[in-house]
Amino acid sequence: MRLLALLVLLCACTPAPPLDWSSDTAIGAAPDAVDPTESEVVFLAIGDFGKHTDAQARTAEAIATACEAAGCQFTVMLGDNLYDTGLDGSEETEADLRDLVDSYPDIPAWMVLGNHDWHHLSPELERAERELSWIAEQDDVFGAFHFFDFAAGPAHFWAADTNWIVRHEDAAASVELEEWSAGIGDTVAPWVFVMGHHPLLSNGDHGNAGLYKDSGLDLWPGEALQAWYDEHVIGVSDLFLAGHDHSLNFFPDAGDAAGGDMATLVSGAAAKCRAARPRDLNPGQSGATATFEHYGAGFAIVRATETELEVTIHADGKDAWTVRRTVDDPSWTGDAPVVDREDRCD
């Protein structure tokens, strides 16, 4: 145990290499998921699906039923696509990732990287780059960049490799990241969605941006990511989607202390789950209150029209929970809050 802690601390002290912003994998535009002229979009949001478990198989089966009923057009995959340390260069891990993707409905997927797709204890870029190359080779998986955007009907998505920002304390000083981020605020679509692996707010074990714990340590707490969220996402995006915590949380706004008017969805329970964190829960530090919490397996389906946004969370063993808002009013209405902090993990 002492040796593991020492290795973790050594990794944490090693700076992550800078992105080569001229690289083909740094920044790009992914293909549109749904023609921007379409008036409606329906998509599946899952995170942390990258391991064959009983919960993963059960959730995949539930997703097939729910997506058929809802008419899901594509999937956003929110990172930790292959545990424990992503693609290692072997055909076996590539086949495993392909098999996991194939376990979900036969619709295209837009994928961001999680900390386990990099390496959860190492700051190096090699495995992250390997997974981006794998994505580029697929016919039905998109997002072969650290930072990319794409259109989907009345929505525009901005997808960030939050791992790179978390592991770089000087991320905010990057001119290239600043220029890309400025586009989020210039989006003209009725709905602006931002997606990444690390949540802004979470009552799960990892916690909020700026307070993350990995392997029980403040390995990369994420102050740089918190600053990026504050400057470029809060008050600009309508919905922020993340994984990382193996639970389901929905915050109808980012909280008065953080700027408000942006809902945050944590959907990181496709294959693993973890009990609520023993530390202080939101509200408090953030000023935000979750209206949905579940610490078991599950997923979310989001529907957007030109005038309405709807989020439905499907938690294992519970009835689907749905809330909605209009393009002119950020107030969410629908089902009553469901806050279940019991450990529902298998």
pLDDT tens per residue across span 25-53 = 999 999 999 999 999 999 999 999 999 99
Angle between helices 91-102 and 126-137 in degrees, nearest 10: 60
d(C-alpha 236, C-alpha 259), whole Å: 10
Between 314 and 214, residue with greater pLDDT: 314
Highest mean pLDDT among 115-119, 212-216, 256-260: 115-119
d(C-alpha 191, C-alpha 211), whole Å: 29
Q: Read off the pLDDT of each residue in 106-115 and give the average, rounded to a whole number.
A: 97
Q: CATH 3.60.21.10: does it fit domain 22-343?
A: yes
- Contact in structure between 267 and 248 (CB atoms under 8 Å): yes
State residue 260's pLDDT score.
63
Kindly tell me if the per-residue pLDDT of 3 is higher than 70: no
C-alpha radius of gyration, the chain, whole number:
18
- Contact in structure between 207 and 198 (CB atoms under 8 Å): no
Kindly tell me if the per-residue pLDDT of 128 is higher than 50: yes
Q: Which of 79, 50, 192 minimizes the C-alpha distance to 143?
A: 79
Average pLDDT, the chain: 90
Backbone phi, psi, residue 96, to 5°: -65, -45
Token duo for residue 299 = 């997923």
Question: Token pair 């392909």 is at which residue?
Answer: 98
Kindly tell me if the per-residue pLDDT of 2 is higher than 70: no
Q: Where are the domains of the chain?
A: 22-343
d(C-alpha 49, C-alpha 336), whole Å: 28
State residue 218's pLDDT score.
77
Confidence at 14, pLDDT banded by 50, 70, 90: low
DSSP 278: S
d(C-alpha 343, C-alpha 277), whole Å: 10
Q: Is the peptide bond before 96 cis (omega within 30 degrees of 0)?
A: no
Token duo for residue 273 = 């789950």
Q: Is the peptide bond before 31 cis (omega within 30 degrees of 0)?
A: no
DSSP 71: T
Q: Read off the pLDDT of each residue in 9-34 and give the average, rounded to a whole number.
A: 82
What is the pTM for the complete model shown? 0.94
Kindly tell me if the per-residue pLDDT of 183 is higher than 70: yes
Highest mean pLDDT among 172-176, 217-221, 289-293: 289-293
Burial status of residue 251 (CB atoms within 10 A of its CB: 0-12, 13-18, 19 or more): buried
Kindly tell me if the per-residue pLDDT of 1 is higher than 90: no
